[in-house]
Amino acid sequence: MVEIAPISRPSRGATPRRHEVAERIKQYILQNRLGPGDALPTEAELCEAVGASRSSVREAIKTLTALDIVEVRHGHGTYVGRLSLAALVESLTFRGLLSRADDFRVLSELVEVRQTVEQGMAASIVNASDESLHGELLDLAEQMAECAARGESFIEQDREFHLLLLEPLGNELLTQLTAAFWDVHAIVAPSLGTTSESVRETVEAHRAIARAVAARDVSAFIRSVEAHYAPVRRNLRESLEHRDPGGAPAG
């Protein structure tokens, strides 16, 4: 078992709340340098380590499981989770779908973040790319064009295209964050109308991005990313303008 690092205990007679116990378990994971997939100590040992009762530890484990910080494998024990952004996706999706007045606003915020990240990382993306990546990006752009010509959605190819852009950077957190935003986008976006012109613009923008990466042209890449998000920004703006302050469509 990993040597237990000291963790601050509650004062005598105090009963720690569930979130306090959860924080202590997180502190335990950090102090003992555990990573995804590593086993946590037994329940009794964990109770001793964090200074809490079995019931408090169990409740805290439930909270951390929902956040993907720990994983309970029945019959085997408790382990450090994948530490993914699943909780973020669920929260953002719920926020967008809970109130139809907010769904376009949530999507607008996600688009702004995605564009800021890609343009801010432009030089790194372009410089980290190679010929193999150039070919894959161009191929995906052509697949989008073919889907558009058949009147089909190309959201999966679009998602793969943007994740592929970031892949050479080797930044797992950035990749997870982008994938999380895409998952939210896929759920919320169907309520956003599109036009044949916006679809055409989107396809051409992906081609331009792929060409800019292949040419290692950072300025062209930034302009192409701007052009890529322009149609969805326009559709979002028009959709928001057609809603009254209470969220109902304007009559």
- Of all residues in the chain, the percent with pLDDT exceeding 70 is 78
pLDDT in tens, 85-98: 666 666 666 665 55
The domains located in the chain, with CATH, are: 18-80 (1.10.10.10), 86-241 (1.20.120.530)
**What residues are paired with 78 via a beta bridge?**
72
Whole-angstrom distance, CA of residue 180 vs CA of residue 90: 9
Residue 2 is predicted with a pLDDT of 42
- Quick one: CA torsion of 143, 145, 151, 153, rounded to 10 degrees? 50
Residue 61 is predicted with a pLDDT of 92
More confident residue, 19 or 239: 19
pLDDT band (50, 70, 90) for residue 231: confident
| Helix residue ranges per DSSP H, the chain | 18-31, 43-50, 54-66, 86-98, 103-120, 122-128, 131-149, 155-166, 172-188, 196-214, 218-241
pLDDT in tens, 154-178: 988 999 999 999 999 988 878 888 8
pLDDT in tens, 62-114: 888 877 789 999 888 999 987 776 666 666 666 655 555 566 777 788 888 88
Residue 90 is predicted with a pLDDT of 64
Q: What is the rounded average pLDDT for all residues in the chain?
A: 82
Cα–chain center distance at 218? 25
pLDDT band (50, 70, 90) for residue 249: very low
Find out whether 16 and 24 touch, Cβ atoms under 8 Å: yes
Which residue, chain included where needed, has tokens 């909780």? 87
Residue 14 is predicted with a pLDDT of 46
Written as one string, the DSSP assignment of 92-150 is HHHHHHH-TTTHHHHHHHHHHHHHHHHHHTHHHHHHH--HHHHHHHHHHHHHHHHHHHT
Find out whether 118 and 111 touch, Cβ atoms under 8 Å: no
